[in-house]
Amino acid sequence: MASSNTSITDLRVEGFSCPLGLTESRPRLSWRLDTARPGARQVAYRVLASSSPDGFDVPELWDSGRVESNQTAFIEYGGAPLYSRERVYWRVEVEDETGATTPSQTSWFETGLLQKSDWSAKFISAPIAGGPITVPPVPRLNRAFSLNKPVKSARIYASALGVYQLELNGARVGDQELAPGWTDYEQSLRFQTFDVTGQLQRGDNALHALLGDGWAVGHIGWKNRQNYHDRPALLCQLEIEFEDGSRETIVSDEQWTSSLGPLLGSDMMMGESHNALLPWREVGGVEVEELPGDLKLRASIAPPVRVTEELAALSVHAGGNAGGFGDCWVFDLGQNMVGRVRLNFARVPQASAPSEETSLPEGSELPEAAALSEPLETGTTFRLRFAETLEGGPNATEGHIYTTNLRAARQTDAYTHDGKAASWEPVFTFHGFRYVEVAGWPGKTAPPLDFVTGVVLGTDQERSGDFECSDPLINQLQKNIDWGWRGNSLDIPTDCPQRDERLGWTGDAQVFCETSLWNRDARGFWVEWARQVRDAQVSTGGIPCTVPAPAIGQLAAPEHRNSWSDGGPAWADAVLICPWTVYRATGDKRVLEENYDVFARFFAYLQSTARDNLRCFDGCDYFSGFGDWLALDGSGRTEGGTPTELIGTAFYAHAADLMSQIAGVLGKTGEAQKYAASFDAIRKSFCARFITPDGRLSPPFQTPYLLALEFNLVPDELRPKLALELVGEIKARGQKLSTGFVGSPYINGVLTREGHLDTAYTLLHQKAWPSWLYAVTQGATTIWERWDGWTTEKGFQDAGMNSFNHYAYGAVGAWLYSQVAGIALDPQTPGYSRFVLAPKPGGQLTFAKAHLDTLHGRIESEWHLEDDKFNYRFVVPANTSAKVELPDGTSFEAVAGVVEGSVWLS
Ligand code: BGC
């Protein structure tokens, strides 16, 4: 009997609901117990799987039987080994603590092509290639075919070296952007699966593929083009099953043709040019290449890149002469975003009579602002440039756009209007920007605001949490943190999305990983990236400073002792820190299992390059790291003043500690002990080397204290003394932090744990730079790369490296959730099946609240101060429990339910 008001919802497979084209050999299932019943728990479950949606009476694929367990996530599918193209229907029955059993609805998943031999498609490309810096036109590849029987089902399996977009019978296939994303194309290529059953027709069919340069062929980083291939190539396999049971497969091969047309060039760094007056014209056949034997083809475990939001422009102002392109207009989208813009021609008068597609919906009128005295002429060319700020700084409201910090990334689009199109947006490029400079507008008055729409792109990660408090500046900081991640998680975790860089810097990734998991369901994204880190590991065991590592082929040899064969401390360590963070936040053990050999090789490499347990010592023959990157600690160095030997040895110790914990989780007791012994030995060497006989850390910058305390490198009895010295150091700097990428993520956590919550709050509220709020007071809508990216005193920092969208310093976000709002992981339990609620009011805040959507449901924590009265409300989701620790020192156990109450703080 089903228990009242209980339902089993959110059935997922590897985090997706009803995924098509999975290539995991043992996919894992999850569901959620949805009920408001206090104390609700799952006691047992039974999973049933069948090959038809109504075959559950005798489920022929799998019956797990009754499994006594409260586990609702990461349940491995236990049917026979899956085969390619297999559709599995499944449901679960959950027995709860009342003894009632509740069945779920039926869900499904479908596998993609699991074997290389399933592919009969070949790589095909147009007979055109650019050069190392010349961007050629974007080709379209075509295949016409006819069908004379009713179709039962059809799938397209596709990928590209480059980026692709498919069109079948005039309609776009799928909604993915910039597929298949960036992998080390010499080793792995992801493919996508599309259900095109409804898009096929009896008679003639036309399949087209647009093929852009993307990462495989276009500019990446500050390098030239053609880093992996000289031209983009398509891989496409359309498999049709007819009603009569027969099958037909149409693949990319010599039967395709290629065309050139309106897309004059597209590059992720440089931009896209489109002349709508040029029709597509067939230019010949295609060049065909076999699939390389050692290339691994698989589906991504992360959600795809999609359009995630559209932004309306907030204002437009005259931008003066746009460098030979006449007068221009500058639109402000109000948000530093990543993606592209759409030009909306349906909102302005047209030269020719509007065609069907351009006519406005009945009853609608052109807005007042569309004051074009003349209609838009056929052949009008617009040039669009994109920038994060105006030349007058982040607070300016008029003037030219500031593009110097883009370095060689031109991020410039051009479009020539055909007098008919209702709108235009580029296909294969993206920019980092808040301001759009439009040149070519023929009118004397400003274009209407809705001439331009911001189209936000990014890996489509569901929102998983939010934080809010009584200070509007901190709320803006929280927004900026999330926007920073949205813009820099476009397929891979990047440092910045605008200048000629946009690389998967490993250090930035490990610094921000934890915070990303508070704001977004980023698990799949990080699991996917961990697979890329595996591909990027060099033969020594070292991990490069960026992943993917574009030139890894030439750098794999041990004699290449540079940052691409070893990213150095805090960068290379992403290999351990990111998977461990994902495991702790979600309970996903597999990310540890499947990469354990990579971890072990990495640690062995650290060991082999250490001397007397110290790493990155003076004179070592390998890259010793980027220091405490961008720290403003008075050293005057971009790397900050903390010695690389100290950072190297601290991270070496931390790696040993993580290895020991990971081995423990995986049941490798012997190895766990071995790594624990290494941790002990490295700690001792750290203390001997960096702690003075009178118990001081040398040199006394903030980051050394933070690493020593965060990584537990010093004897317990020394901790209070070091923490006080840290507080003294902060005070001596006028209550300001002086940390770079390495120290900043830990500072407020360490201060809180060591009993200096007040100093942590002082840093949080600090408005003078260096601080988190300085950029906010200057109108920032994302996190800046540098604490002093722009200051009232000095203006812009060095344009050679000054991004206004760099997520690293947003890592304080984890502290807002876990300490200010107080939703924290239980030290023993990953994934929040049991957690801690320990809100910590302080500073000038009078209220704070946060929620986190875990695999079990939503945790909520909200407090308000009324003088000395602390009012608290929290929600513990079904099937979980929490330890509650209140700021008055009381603590108690809580089961699933909603609780509200107050205590007095004296
Ligand atoms: C990137 C950083 C990166 C660093 C390495 C920079 O150019 O933008 O975020 O971690 O190089 O020091």
Give the pLDDT mean for 195-206: 98
DSSP state of 583: H
End-to-end CA distance of the chain: 50
Q: From the candidates 528, 645, 710, 785, give the one annotated as an active-site residue.
A: 785
Probe target for ligand 1 pocket from 220, 494, 495, with the most ligand atoms within 8 Å of CB: 495
Which pLDDT band holds residue 707 (cuts at 50, 70, 90)?
Answer: very high
Probe target for ligand 1 pocket from 488, 505, 806, with the most ligand atoms within 8 Å of CB: 505
Give the pLDDT mean for 596-622: 97
CB 177 within 8 A of CB 214: no
Give the pLDDT mean for 610-635: 96
| Residue type at 293 in one-letter notation | G
CA atoms within 13 A on the CB side of 769: 22
Give the C-alpha separation, 495 to 452, whole Å.
27
Give the C-alpha separation, 778 to 249, whole Å.
58
Whether residue 323 is predicted with pLDDT greater than 80 in this model: the reply is: no
Give the number of the atom of ligand 1 that is nearest the alpha carbon of residue 505.
10
Q: Please tell me the predicted confidence (pLDDT) of residue 599.
A: 98
Whether residue 5 is predicted with pLDDT greater than 90 in this model: the reply is: no
Give the C-alpha separation, 435 to 400, whole Å.
10
568 backbone dihedrals φ, ψ, rounded to 5°: 85, 170
Q: Which residues contact 791 (CB under 8 A, 6 or more apart)?
A: 769, 774
Q: Which residues contact 893 (CB under 8 A, 6 or more apart)?
A: 881, 882, 883, 884
Give the C-alpha separation, 821 to 845, whole Å.
11
| Residue type at 428 in one-letter notation | F
Which pLDDT band holds residue 253 (cuts at 50, 70, 90)?
Answer: very high
Among 898, 832, 834, 893, residue whose Cα is nearest residue 861:
898
653 backbone dihedrals φ, ψ, rounded to 5°: -60, -45
Q: Please tell me the predicted confidence (pLDDT) of residue 360.
A: 44
| Residue type at 510 in one-letter notation | Q
How far is the centre of ligand 1, averaged over its atoms, from the C-alpha of 805 (Å)? Answer: 12
Q: Could you tell me if the CB of 626 is within 6 A of ligand 1?
A: yes
Give the number of the atom of ligand 1 that is nearest the alpha carbon of residue 508.
10
CA atoms within 13 A on the CB side of 549: 27
User: pLDDT tens for residues 697-706?
Assistant: 878 799 999 9
Give the C-alpha separation, 346 to 341, whole Å.
15
How far is the centre of ligand 1, averaged over its atoms, from the C-alpha of 495 (Å)? Answer: 7
Give the C-alpha separation, 54 to 60, whole Å.
11
User: pLDDT tens for residues 857-899?
Assistant: 999 999 999 999 999 999 999 999 999 999 999 999 999 999 9
Give the C-alpha separation, 356 to 351, whole Å.
14
Q: Would you call 501 a catalytic residue per the annotation?
A: yes
Q: Please tell me the predicted confidence (pLDDT) of residue 363.
A: 47
Q: How many helices (H) and strands (E) does the chain have?
A: 16, 47
Give the number of the atom of ligand 1 that is nearest the alpha carbon of residue 545.
5
Q: Whose CA is nearest to atom 11 of ligand 1?
A: 505
How far is the centre of ligand 1, averaged over its atoms, from the C-alpha of 221 (Å)? Answer: 11
How far is the centre of ligand 1, averaged over its atoms, from the C-alpha of 358 (Å)? Answer: 45
**309 DSSP β-pair partners:** 456
Give the pLDDT mean for 237-258: 98
CB 237 within 8 A of CB 122: no
Q: Please tell me the predicted confidence (pLDDT) of residue 564.
A: 83
Tokens encoding 420: 């008919």
Q: Could you tell me if the CB of 566 is within 6 A of ligand 1?
A: no
How far is the centre of ligand 1, averaged over its atoms, from the C-alpha of 570 (Å)? Answer: 12
Q: Could you tell me if the CB of 496 is within 6 A of ligand 1?
A: yes
Q: Please tell me the predicted confidence (pLDDT) of residue 124.
A: 98
Probe target for ligand 1 pocket from 512, 626, 647, 782, with the most ligand atoms within 8 Å of CB: 626
Whether residue 361 is predicted with pLDDT greater than 60 in this model: the reply is: no
Q: Could you tell me if the CB of 784 is within 6 A of ligand 1?
A: no
User: pLDDT tens for residues 524-569?
Assistant: 999 999 999 999 999 999 999 999 987 655 555 666 678 888 999 9
How far is the centre of ligand 1, averaged over its atoms, from the C-alpha of 686 (Å)? Answer: 27
How far is the centre of ligand 1, averaged over its atoms, from the C-alpha of 691 (Å)? Answer: 30
Give the pLDDT mean for 755-771: 98
CB 227 within 8 A of CB 551: yes
How much of the chain exceeds pLDDT 90, in percent? 90
Bond preceding residue 877 cis, omega within 30 of 0:
no
Question: Measured at the alpha carbon of residue 432, what is the angle toward residues 280 and 186, in degrees to the nearest 5?
Answer: 65
Q: Whose CA is nearest to atom 8 of ligand 1?
A: 495
Give the C-alpha separation, 651 to 649, whole Å.
5
CA gyration radius, the chain: 28
Identify the helix (H) or strand (E) that includes residue 198.
Answer: none
Q: Which residues contact 642 (CB under 8 A, 6 or more apart)?
A: 627, 628, 631, 633, 699, 701, 703, 704, 742, 743
Strands 869-885 and 891-904: antiparallel
311 backbone dihedrals φ, ψ, rounded to 5°: -115, 135
The residue ranges of DSSP E strands in 578-693, in sequence order, are none
How far is the centre of ligand 1, averaged over its atoms, from the C-alpha of 389 (Å)? Answer: 21
How far is the centre of ligand 1, averaged over its atoms, from the C-alpha of 522 (Å)? Answer: 22
Give the number of the atom of ligand 1 that is nearest the alpha carbon of residue 741.
10
User: pLDDT tens for residues 105-121?
Assistant: 999 999 999 999 999 99
Whether residue 362 is predicted with pLDDT greater than 90 in this model: the reply is: no
User: pLDDT tens for residues 384-411?
Assistant: 999 999 999 999 999 999 999 999 999 9
Please identify which residue in the block is written with the tokens 């760094």.
Answer: 269
Q: From the candidates 501, 645, 729, 754, give the one annotated as an active-site residue.
A: 501
CB 316 within 8 A of CB 331: yes
Tokens encoding 81: 């080994």
Question: Sign of the CA dihedral 110, 112, 115, 118?
Answer: positive
Which pLDDT band holds residue 346 (cuts at 50, 70, 90)?
Answer: confident
Q: Whose CA is nearest to atom 2 of ligand 1?
A: 495
Strands 327-344 and 431-439: antiparallel
Q: Would you call 290 a catalytic residue per the annotation?
A: no
Give the C-alpha separation, 772 to 420, whole Å.
48
Among 599, 713, 695, residue whose Cα is nearest residue 647:
713
Cα–Cα distance list, 885 to 837, 839, 894, 904 (Å): 6, 8, 10, 14
Question: Measured at the alpha carbon of residue 487, what is the angle toward residues 761 and 581, in degrees to the nearest 5?
Answer: 60
Q: Please tell me the predicted confidence (pLDDT) of residue 325.
A: 80
CA atoms within 13 A on the CB side of 333: 31
Give the pLDDT mean for 599-622: 96
Give the C-alpha separation, 877 to 38, whole Å.
9
Give the C-alpha separation, 388 to 405, whole Å.
9
Q: Could you tell me if the CB of 345 is within 6 A of ligand 1?
A: no
350 vs 897, higher pLDDT: 897
Torsion-angle region of residue 776: left (phi > 0), alpha (psi -120 to 50) or beta?
Answer: alpha
Q: Please tell me the predicted confidence (pLDDT) of residue 761.
A: 98
How far is the centre of ligand 1, averaged over its atoms, from the C-alpha of 338 (Å)? Answer: 19
Q: Whose CA is nearest to atom 4 of ligand 1?
A: 505
Q: Please tell me the predicted confidence (pLDDT) of residue 357.
A: 42
**9 DSSP β-pair partners:** 32
Q: Could you tell me if the CB of 493 is within 6 A of ligand 1?
A: no
Q: Please tell me the predicted confidence (pLDDT) of residue 223.
A: 87
The residue ranges of DSSP E strands in 662-802, in sequence order, are 790-791, 795-796
Give the C-alpha separation, 563 to 552, whole Å.
11
Q: Whose CA is nearest to atom 12 of ligand 1?
A: 626
Give the C-alpha separation, 156 to 237, whole Å.
6
How far is the centre of ligand 1, averaged over its atoms, from the C-alpha of 562 (Å)? Answer: 15
Q: Could you tell me if the CB of 570 is within 6 A of ligand 1?
A: no
User: pLDDT tens for residues 439-485?
Assistant: 999 878 899 999 999 999 999 999 999 999 999 999 999 999 999 99
CA dihedral 169, 174, 175, 179 (to 10 degrees): -110
CB 781 within 8 A of CB 479: yes
| Residue type at 268 in one-letter notation | M
Q: Please tell me the predicted confidence (pLDDT) of residue 698.
A: 78
**How confident is the prediction for the chain on average, in pLDDT?**
94
Q: Could you tell me if the CB of 402 is within 6 A of ligand 1?
A: no
Give the number of the atom of ligand 1 that is nearest the alpha carbon of residue 629.
12
CB 263 within 8 A of CB 184: no
User: DSSP per residue over 223-287, as a string?
Assistant: S-S-SS-SS-EEEEEEEEEETTS-EEEEESSTT-EEEE-SEEEEETTTEEEEETTSPPEEEE--E
Q: Please tell me the predicted confidence (pLDDT) of residue 370.
A: 47
Stated pTM of the model:
0.96
Whether residue 355 is predicted with pLDDT greater than 50 in this model: the reply is: no
Cα–Cα distance list, 20 to 156, 629, 733, 862 (Å): 11, 42, 55, 39
Q: Could you tell me if the CB of 495 is within 6 A of ligand 1?
A: yes
Q: Please tell me the predicted confidence (pLDDT) of residue 563.
A: 83
Question: Sign of the CA dihedral 74, 77, 82, 86?
Answer: negative
Whether residue 686 is predicted with pLDDT greater than 90 in this model: the reply is: yes
Q: Please tell me the predicted confidence (pLDDT) of residue 348.
A: 75
Give the number of the atom of ligand 1 that is nearest the alpha carbon of residue 506.
10
Probe target for ligand 1 pocket from 512, 543, 629, 785, with the most ligand atoms within 8 Å of CB: 629
Among 489, 518, 517, residue whose Cα is nearest residue 505:
489
Which pLDDT band holds residue 191 (cuts at 50, 70, 90)?
Answer: very high
